[in-house]
A = this chain, B = another copy of it.
């Protein structure tokens, strides 16, 4: 697939001199349009063989446009993520906000290509890795990102010549690194690995563009022109078509649902409660301090109808822990930095370190619950969220995170009782707002959303624990028991 880029592309100096200023000027205009609208981010991935001009192109784009609105990051394939963080974590942290341009010299492709070339990554592992990348890029595209993937190519011979020329001049010899020499010696292995990766990841929403890197001016103008054209098309409103997400399942025809089928009448007495609470709190405390737990982050998710007791249940967990071990993350209105990023970004930033627990009081499931029911996002957006969420949780579990999810269920009658009680207690009044009453009237819509959510996202690796909370004490014990179990081993 790289042959086309070995045809010895070259621009006459006069052609470059005539065309470059026009492209440059236009790029700058487009950058300001992008910034003014701030509707989507631009992500440029610069990859290729050593000497092909990735860094040089990043420098060129910074010189041709206003560098204050460009974020350039470089990633090597050998760095990996911090302990307990998924491989994509580094890239999430570096994503450009809407209106800005991000240039990634190296990216999520560096690791699979380098591991395939140098460390014998097998077909299955490569395919899994590329599948994850396709999901990630599809999500970015669906969130609006304009993705430009550039591969700067040199034939083996051209690479030889370029490295030799640099090395022979005392003033530039320092530019030739050991890594470059190594890649040059094993050129074929590298190219074969790259080809496999590129072929499988050239998608409608994020195709690869291969650029001959042997002539600087050709390379510069080719990259700049591709960016100009992509920006023009996108600013004119053209978006790539992406595969539509599957619709949610039809509601059951007998109106019986997971939520209605729960037994809400179970109770425990106070004595049993005290004993069991202490027992499971002790288990949670000990297991969080075990040697195995020191290596693993824990993510606990609480979702539930209003007044189902999220707050008081969370306090029974935190009461069993040292304050250093946990962090409660209440999910409130997003900040402007969060709004300028893909939906899941604001949850990635709160992932816990190994040995620590992050307790999410509401979570990424808001998209398929409140945002779906209230019509805050388009149908296509909440429908694709199931898949994105499963993918997110799968990444967490793959890198050792324990993911424990609780749905706190309540009957409408018990909710009503608690709402009324809240209105009567001075320090609980803040917990009851007109919005709560409004949500209550939409009970059937929420119930359907919850059922769909559980059906779609209760996975082998991250199942939902659905807990009836009509008696709060029983619910607390069940939550702590499930959590203690999840922390085992």
Contacts and interface: CB of A to CB of B under 8 A. Distances in A.
A28 B427 contact: yes
Interface string A16-30: 000001001100100
B427 A74 contact: no
How many monomers of this chain does the complex have? 2
Interface in A291-339: 311, 315, 318-319, 322-325, 327-328, 330, 332, 335-337
Interface stretch (A36-44, A169-177, A200-208, A367-375): A169-177
A324 B76 contact: yes
Q: Identify the interface centre among A63, A173, A279: most chain B CB within 10 Å of its CB.
A: A63
Nearest to A20: B427
Nearest to A97: B335
Contact of A328 (B24, B55, B62, B327): B62
Contacts of A141: none
Contact of A172 (B24, B177, B278, B318): B278
Contact of A426 (B25, B69, B106, B285): B25
B171 A278 contact: yes
Closest 7 CB pairs of A and B: A171-B278, A74-B324, A68-B330, A74-B323, A105-B323, A25-B426, A174-B282
10 contacts: A24-B426, A66-B430, A68-B361, A69-B332, A72-B323, A72-B328, A172-B278, A173-B282, A335-B337, A336-B337
Interface of A: 21, 24-25, 28, 32, 54-55, 58-59, 62-64, 66-69, 72-76, 105-106, 171-175, 177, 274-275, 278-279, 281-282, 285-286, 311, 315, 318-319, 322-325, 327-328, 330, 332, 335-337, 361, 426-427, 430
